[in-house]
């Protein structure tokens, strides 16, 4: 690491701190001019490729996953920390997969399973995209299977 003052490449680490998202901050001292400076290191994670339905592939994008979940949870009683927890669980699942590529459908179903436990409406919103329903009848059948709907039998006096 070169000193910003004298450009000497010899320095010693005085202090190391780990911050969120595996960011590492190191306080250094130049062995030549004794100037002190801070460096920031981040861990580069090599995510697998995602196979889309149309056959193309794209790199896994944690932010895209987060936005999709946030959209499904819009105006629902789901906190940002709960959304972040789902994003982290799904990301961990993707990273644990030893293959070089994962299908978008697998990621979608992992999210659907997490949302099903968290919020019914968010689950339905997300599932309506990832389960590729052919028509409304199939959508209603899935809802009836996953949730027990009781017909309203209220009578007016």
The answer to whether 91 and 46 are in contact (CB under 8 A) is no
Cite the beta strand spans of the chain per DSSP E. Answer: 11-19, 23-30, 36-41, 49-51, 57-59, 101-103
Q: What is the pLDDT along the chain (157 residues), one digit of tens a residue?
A: 889 999 999 999 999 998 876 789 999 999 999 999 999 988 777 788 888 888 899 988 889 999 999 999 988 898 999 999 999 999 888 888 777 678 888 888 889 889 888 888 888 888 777 666 777 777 777 766 665 444 444 444 4
Q: Based on the fold, state whether residues 30 and 95 are members of the same structural domain.
A: no
Q: Based on the fold, state whether residues 33 and 53 are members of the same structural domain.
A: no
Q: Based on the fold, state whether residues 54 and 108 are members of the same structural domain.
A: yes
Contact partners, residue 28, CB within 8 Å, separation at least 6:
1, 11, 12, 13, 14, 36, 37, 38, 39
CA–CA distance from 50 to each of 43, 47, 69, 94 (Å)? 21, 9, 17, 9
Q: Based on the fold, state whether residues 102 and 53 are members of the same structural domain.
A: yes
Q: Based on the fold, state whether residues 24 and 54 are members of the same structural domain.
A: no
Q: Based on the fold, state whether residues 17 and 61 are members of the same structural domain.
A: no
Report if residue 5 sits inside a domain. Answer: no
Domain enclosing residue 96, as ranges: 49-146
Report if residue 156 sits inside a domain. Answer: no
Report if residue 154 sits inside a domain. Answer: no
Report if residue 151 sits inside a domain. Answer: no
Q: Based on the fold, state whether residues 24 and 87 are members of the same structural domain.
A: no
Q: Based on the fold, state whether residues 19 and 57 are members of the same structural domain.
A: no
Q: What total of structural domains would you count in the chain?
A: 2
The answer to whether 122 and 115 are in contact (CB under 8 A) is yes
């Amino acid at each position: 690491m070169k000193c910003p003052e004298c450009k000497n490449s010899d320095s010693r680490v005085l202090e190391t701190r780990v911050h969120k998202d595996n960011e590492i901050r190191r306080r250094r001292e130049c062995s030549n001019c004794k100037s002190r400076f801070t460096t920031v290191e981040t861990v580069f994670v090599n995510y697998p490729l995602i196979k889309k339905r149309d056959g193309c592939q794209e790199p896994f994008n944690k932010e895209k996953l987060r936005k999709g979940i946030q959209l499904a949870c819009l105006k629902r009683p789901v906190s940002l920390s709960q959304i972040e927890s789902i994003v982290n669980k799904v990301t961990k699942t993707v990273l644990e997969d030893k293959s070089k590529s994962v299908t978008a459908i697998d990621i979608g179903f992992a999210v659907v399973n997490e949302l099903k436990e968290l919020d019914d409406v968010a689950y339905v919103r997300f599932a309506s995209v990832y389960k590729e329903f052919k028509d409304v009848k199939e959508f209603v059948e899935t809802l009836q299977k996953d949730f027990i709907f009781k017909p309203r039998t209220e009578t007016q006096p």
